[in-house]
Amino acid sequence: MQSPELFWAMRILLPLFLGAVVTYVIGKIISRIKGDRAGGVVAAVIALVVTVAAYILCFTYPGAASAGAESGIAWLGSLKPDALSLLMAKIMFPLVILVAIYSLGYMKDDSGTDKYYALMLIMAGGMMGVVGAGDIISLYVFFEILSISSYCLVSFRKESWEPIEAGFKYVIINALGSTVAIFGLSLLYIYSGSVSMAEIAAHISGLPDLPVLAALALITGGFGVKAAMVPLHSWLPDAHSAAPSGISALLSGIVIQVGFFALLRLILGVFPLQMQMVGTILIILAAVTTTYGNFIAIAQKDIKRMLAYSSVAQMGYIILGFGVGFYFHSADGFTGGLFHIETHAFMKALAFLSVGCIIEKTGTRRIADLKGVGRVMPATAVAFTIAALGLAGIPAFSGFMSKLMIYKCGFQAGTALGVVLSSIAILNSIISLGYYMPAIHTLFSPAGEAAAKVKGTVSPAILLPIVIMVLITLVLGWHPDLGLGPVNAAVLEILNIIGG
Amino acid sequence: MKYSLIPLLIFVIPLLASLVCMALKKRPRWSQEIALVTCLATAALSLALVPEVLRHGSAGIDLAWIKSFGFNFSLLVDALGSFTIVTITVLMAIDIIYARQYMTPEEAGSSFYGWTLMFMAAMVGAVAATQLIQFYFLWELMLIPSTALIVYWGSGKRPQATGFKYFVITHIGAALILIAILWIITVTGESNIYALAGALAHLPASTLTVLAVLFTIGFAVKMAIFPAHVWLPDAHSEAPLPVSVMLSAIMMNMGIYGLIRFLFTLFPAGVANSLGLALMIFALISQWYGGLQALNHTEMKRVAAYSTISQMGYVLFGIASLSMLGLKGSIFHMLNHGTAKALLFMSIGSVIHSTGATHLDKVGGLAKKMPWTALCCSVAALALAGAPPLGAFQSEWIIFAGGFSSPYTVLAIIAVCASVLTAFYVLRLVMRVFFGHERNECGDINEVHEAPPAMLASMFALSLLSLAVGIYPDFFHRWIEVALQTFGLF
């Protein structure tokens, strides 16, 4: 019998980090012998094998039933995976796999792609570490691993200035966030004398209010930067639009959600008594984040920046779900928030991947220049349309189902505040049409200059992940039960912790 | 409820057929045949459902859908639903026949038929839906196919912008409906439309009024009641003709259905009463505004589009009179307006098809060259003007009678005067296009020819339908009376 901790360490983290090393070393050797492109392909194949294997291993998760099995290894205490971690793993792995396949086609002309895939595995490992962390040190360290690998990936195409600048901004603002967060974590350590979340939580009820609140504020601020909550979001539009599209998909689809997840883990693990207050803070931040993100997205001329701001807005929805969940103690809020993480991951990745394909073919990111592209690359443009309509919460696409739950949880609270929140969320979905529809409209307008530049067909490696994500978006839009299994398990876990 | 598979079939068959059409990308001719067969089969099935509904009150089926939300996918058709569905499917079948010759299969492409069938499936599904969320889901599902039809096959200068406007404005209406729906579900815990009446009766009057206002505005947007009409003229006039028919003659019925279903079967009678006067005023404004605009425009399709706004004013007037007669007339007008408006659009379409002219001042005296089209167009015009013995006469006078039985006799008089305006603009269209000096400024007058047989056939079918309903309305009266009995309001 295996404990979940050992499982997480040996079957999820170890393959990813070891795989990163193997990917890099073998990729490097091959690229020395056979050239850069061959090295990249080999690295991609190794990375794919590793992620697929880890993904399959996910399904052998032993579960809480065998949690009693003592491993007797001291360092395993730093991990504490549960159903929530498993949910994030089940969202992250397919996303990484699809992005890796996409990158095979998308990055084939770049140099040094052996490093690219290795970094991607480190990033995945960092994320899995964060979601499985059981003490504040491992949480912080894994988060830094995640951050550093994503800085590198954002600036991966270092031939032009923009990614460098965006990466630099990303490093500085996120380092600031990390500093603030570790201040908060240190406060917790000073007052409780322990790094394990369970032990801190046991101590915390006896502590004076001020340090606890200070720690909560610092942690919310610190991880708020990573989760791109307005007004701490300013790094996101630059980083997400300058990164290669596959990486934008990962950043927007899962990395900022992991940032929020770290905050969630700390709230659940350390501050269960301050639930109501946390709920209030999250609700306010969420309402501001969604509205701000949507309005600024309308003003964007660059399609990737538009999608990046849309990620800010969508983070608002996710946070709103959790805020309502904490404030009103509603299971539906958590379900909505978690399910939106799941549906949004695939919709936003789909949007970025299809846009990446369009940008690669036309060489421009200005929305106004993309006239008529939909007529020369119909499959990609239709995929983008599906992603955009899904993100706007139009029925028949998965985004509707998850947003519906978030809308519903506000009404379910039965108070004026809940009704107002849900109405804000619904009206925001309409506002978001204000930028998705013109973008779709431009793509399908009569042909312009950019459309004339499009030559050749899209490679199957790019098309395959796009098609799979379209299918996921449509299937979850008609039959959300298929994606709700792990979500419900995770919600049960949350309710266990907060005693609902 | 009688267990019956037909409500499921008339939703699933067009939906599957639409996917098949989409898949047959390279073979538009096959899609055309598939669409025809599907539409005829759906119309036949929905007609076959009528006796069962009249005998048992309602018929339907209950399936599990989203277990985690506790929602079912259950379809149920009662007398009101079956009247709406029959109107939709029969008009759609006739429209598809018309489209066969209006657009060649290559012009239309497979996806035209795919989107059309999906549009029909969504409409039928929304009418038959019994769960609130299911209703909203299918209600919004109408939006994507109809927008695609406007954008891809639209003829105006900027079909994208038109489609965009249509999508966003009707989506705003839908969002209000969604707010009301979620509110109801959470407050009452009941999500079955047919079981809500009891649950809602316990709510405070203020909440009920807010809910009713949300629903009314939401459906009024779909009905294009002034001032929510802004999307309609562009969308209906720039869409290709078969799509204009779908929007103007068929989709409008969805707004009417929704308003009647939600306002009258869900809420206690007092709520609707409190809205009556306001609705009546908006109805009158729409009626007059639509009529005057129709008179103001010379583009033929735009005249027909504004006429739809005006006609929806009639319907809303009947609903707002809050009387048995008015409501009966409004329901009946779904079929009659649909028939007459489809006929008007189709005859305009034949004129455009054969002359290339889109404005009524560019052509004249076409009656000699295209006598049958002229006849059909006159039938449509007379029907819209409310002349006996055509179908629309039967419903218009009931609407007015309903108006006079309401306390606001003055408003009813104003409404009756609007029918003079209607007669004026439709007959102006017929006179200018078909009578007077023979001319065609957009092409050679000698090349003007009668509409091809399939187009004529569908126009004849509509004319006969209008005539038959006008001469023998009894059956329809009984049908609608059964529908009204379930309301229990009067």
Reading the block at residue A316, the tokens are: 């608002």
Around Cβ B464, how many Cβ atoms within 10 Å?
Answer: 12
Residue among A417, A421, A426, A471 with most chain B CBs within 10 A, to mutate: A426
Instruction: Write down the residue that tokens 């490696």 correspond to.
Output: A461
Chain A residues 397-416 with CB within 8 Å of chain B: 400-401, 404-405, 407-408, 411-412, 414
Q: Is A482 exposed, middle or buried (0-12, 13-18, 19+ CB in 10 A)?
A: exposed
Token pair 């895939």: residue? A117
ipTM over cut 0.90: no
| Cross-chain Cβ contact A395/B186 below 8 Å | no
Burial of B88: CB neighbours in 10 Å, binned 0-12, 13-18, 19+: buried
Instruction: Assign residue A193 a region (left: φ > 0; alpha: ψ between -120 and 50; beta: otherwise).
Output: left
**Rounded CA separation B381/B344 (Å):** 7
CB nearest A411 (choices: B67, B163, B183): B183
Give the pLDDT confidence score for residue A417 in this predicted structure.
Answer: 82
Instruction: Give the pLDDT score at A3.
Output: 81
Q: Say which of B68, B133, B178 has its CB closest to residue A481.
A: B68
Query: Within an 8 Å CB–CB cutoff, is residue B11 touching chain A?
Result: no
Task: Give the model's confidence band at A72: pLDDT under 50 very low, under 70 low, under 90 confident, else very high.
Answer: low
Give the per-residue pLDDT at A74. 67
B-chain residues near A419 (CB < 8 A): 183
- How many percent of chain A have pLDDT more than 90? 52
| Segment among A57-71, A274-288, A428-442 with least mean pLDDT | A57-71
Which helix (H) or strand (E) element contains residue A412? helix A398-413
Chain A segment 464-483 residues within 8 A of B by beta carbon are: 479-481
Determine, for residues B151 and A394 on separate chains, whether the beta-carbon distance falls below 8 Å.
no
Q: Please tell me if residue A427 touches chain B, with a CB cutoff of 8 Å.
A: yes
- Pairing state of beta strands B71-78 and B2-3? unpaired
Given CB atoms, is A14 within the 8 Å cutoff of chain B? Answer: no
Q: What is the pLDDT of residue A206?
A: 76
Check residue A71 and give its pLDDT: 54
Set of chain B residues whose Cβ sits within 8 Å of the Cβ of A396: 137, 140-141, 144
Nearest to A412 among B144, B168, B186 (CB): B186
* Tens of pLDDT, residues A332-364: 899 999 999 999 999 999 999 999 999 988 888
Give the nearest chain B residue to A482 (CA atoms).
B66
User: Mutation test of the interface with chain B: which of A391, A419, A436, A443, choosing the one with the most B Cβ atoms within 10 A?
Assistant: A419
pLDDT single digits (tens) A440-476: 888 888 877 777 778 778 888 999 999 999 999 999 9
A445 touches chain B (CB under 8 A): yes
Q: How far apart are CA A14 and CA B451, in angstroms?
A: 75
Are A174 and A126 in contact, with CB atoms under 8 Å apart?
no
The reported pLDDT for the residue numbered A109 is 83
Using CA atoms, how far residue A326 sits from A319, A335, A496, in Å, is 10, 12, 13
Q: Which residues lie across from B63 on neighbouring strands?
A: B73
CA A57 – CA A50 distance, rounded (Å): 10
Mean pLDDT of A355-383: 89
Q: Write out pLDDT tens, residues A265-278.
A: 998 888 877 788 88
Judged by DSSP in three states, A397 sits in coil
Distance between CA atoms of residues A177 and A219, nearest Å: 9
- pLDDT given at position B110: 84
The answer to whether the Cβ–Cβ distance between A394 and B182 falls below 8 Å is: no
Nearest to A430 among B143, B161, B172 (CB): B172
| Closest chain B CA to residue A420 | B179
Of residues A394, A427, A441, nearest to B160 (C-beta): A441
Contact A411/B67, CB-based, under 8 Å?
no
Nearest alpha carbon to residue B75 among B85, B88, B67: B85
Cis peptide before B7 (omega within 30 of 0): no
CA angle A375, A378, A379 (to 5 degrees): 170
Cross-chain Cβ contact B69/A389 below 8 Å: no
> How confident is the model over A187-228, as pLDDT tens digits?
989 888 888 888 888 888 777 788 888 998 999 999 999 999
Contacts of A441 in chain B (CB under 8 A): 160-161, 163-164
Beta bridge partners of B129: B75
Mean pLDDT by 10 residues, chain B (490 residues): 86 93 86 93 93 86 76 86 94 93 84 92 93 90 90 79 88 92 85 83 86 93 90 88 92 93 84 86 94 92 93 93 90 94 94 88 87 93 90 90 88 90 92 87 83 91 93 90 74
Which chain B residue's Cα is nearest to A433?
Answer: B168
Q: What count of Cα atoms within 13 Å lies in the side-chain half-sphere of residue A23?
A: 29
Cβ within 8 Å, pair B171-A408: no
For residue B171, the distance in angstroms to the closest alpha carbon of chain A comes to 7
Give a three-class secondary structure readout of chain B. Answer: CEECCHHHHHHHHHHHHHHHHHHCCCCHHHHHHHHHHHHHHHHHHHHHHHHHHHHHCEEEEEEEEEHHHCEEEEEEEEHHHHHHHHHHHHHHHHHHHHHHHHCCHHHHHHHHHHHHHHHHHHHHHHHHECEHHHHHHHHHHCHHHHHHHHHHHCCCCCHHHHHHHHHHHHHHHHHHHHHHHHHHHHHHCCCEHHHHHHHHCCCCHHHHHHHHHHHHHHHHHHHCCCCCCCCHHHHHHHCCHHHHHHHHHHHHHHHHHHHHHHHHHCCCHHHHHHHHHHHHHHHHHHHHHHHHHHHHCCEHHHHHHHHHHHHHHHHHHHHHCCCHHHHHHHHHHHHHHHHHHHHHHHHHHHHHHHHCCCECCCEECCCCCCHHHHHHHHHHHHHHHCCCCCHHHHHHHHHHHHHHHCCCHHHHHHHHHHHHHHHHHHHHHHHHHHCCCCEECCCCHHHCCCCCHHHHHHHHHHHHHHHHHHHCCHHHHHHHHHHHHCCCCC
Question: Chain A: residue nearest B207 by CA?
Answer: A416
The token duo for A114 is: 């052996």
Quick one: pLDDT at residue A346?
95
Q: For residue A429, which residues of chain B lie inside 8 Å, CB to CB?
A: 175
Is A394 within 8 Å of B171 when comparing Cβ atoms? yes
Contact A116, A96 (CB under 8 A): no
* Segment B188-210, tens digit of pLDDT: 888 888 888 888 888 888 888 99
Do A427 and B163 count as a contact with CB atoms less than 8 A apart?
A: no
- CB neighbour class for A114 (10 Å; exposed up to 12, middle 13-18, buried from 19): buried
The tens digit of pLDDT for each residue in A280-298 reads 889 999 999 999 999 999 9
Across the A:B interface, residue pairs with CB atoms under 8 Å apart total 74
Chain A: residue nearest B144 by CA? A394
Pairing mode, if any, of strands B58-66 and B363-364?
A: unpaired
CB atoms < 10 A from the CB of A227, how many? 28
Pick the range with the lowest mean pLDDT from A2-11, A98-107, A212-221, B74-83.
A2-11
Q: Report yes or no: B220 at the A interface, CB cutoff 8 Å.
A: no
Mutate to test the interface with B, among A406, A437, A478, A484 (most CBs of B within 10 A): A437
Instruction: Evaluate if residue A69 carries a pLDDT over 80.
Output: no
User: What is the b/e burial string over B182-209, where b = at least 16 CB atoms within 10 angstroms of the residue's CB?
Assistant: bbbbbbbebbbbbebbebbeebeeeebe
State chain B's mean pLDDT as an integer: 89
d(CA B280, CA B260): 14
B67–chain A Cβ distance below 8 A for any pair:
yes
Q: Is residue A330 within 8 Å of A413, Cβ to Cβ?
A: yes
**Interface contact B186-A479, CB threshold 8 A:** no
Chain B contact set for A400 (CB, 8 A): 137, 140
Structure tokens at B480: 């609608």
Closest alpha carbon within chain A to B65: A479
pLDDT, residue B489, reads 57
State how far residue A479 is from chain B, nearest Cα, in angstroms.
7
Residues from chain B that touch A488, judged by Cβ atoms under 8 A, are 68
Q: Which residue of B has its CA nearest to A479?
A: B66
| A186 compared with A4, residue with greater pLDDT | A186
Q: pLDDT, tens digit, for every residue of A130-157?
A: 999 988 999 999 999 999 999 999 999 8
Query: Are A430 and B133 a contacting pair at CB < 8 A?
Result: no
